[in-house]
Amino acid sequence: MFNPRPLSSVLLSSAAALMLTFGTPAMSEGFDASTMTDAERTAFGAAVRAYLLENPEVIFEAAAVYEEQQAAGQARADETLVSDNADALYSDGFSWVGGNPDGDITIVEFLDYRCGYCRKAHPEVAELVESDGNIRLIVKEYPILGEASLVSSRFAIAAQIVGGDEAYEALHNGLITLTANPGKGPLLRLADTLGLDGEAIWAQMDSEEVTRRIAETRALGQRMGINGTPSFAFGDQMVRGYAPLDAMKQIVADLRKEG
pLDDT tens per residue across span 24-81: 444 445 556 677 788 887 887 888 788 777 777 767 776 766 566 665 565 677 899 9
Question: In the chain, where are the structural domains located?
Answer: 7-84, 87-258
Low-confidence ranges of the chain (pLDDT < 50): 1-2, 7, 10, 16-28
Fold of 87-258: Glutaredoxin (3.40.30)
180 CB neighbour count, 10 Å cutoff? 10
CA distance 242 to 118: 7
Enter the pTM of the model.
0.74
Long-range contacts made by residues 87-92, C-beta under 8 angstroms, separation at least 24? 88/216, 88/220, 89/138, 89/220, 89/233, 90/138, 92/216, 92/217, 92/220
Sort 137 into a burial class: Cβ within 10 Å, 0-12 / 13-18 / 19+: buried
CA distance 148 to 146: 6
CA distance 15 to 13: 5
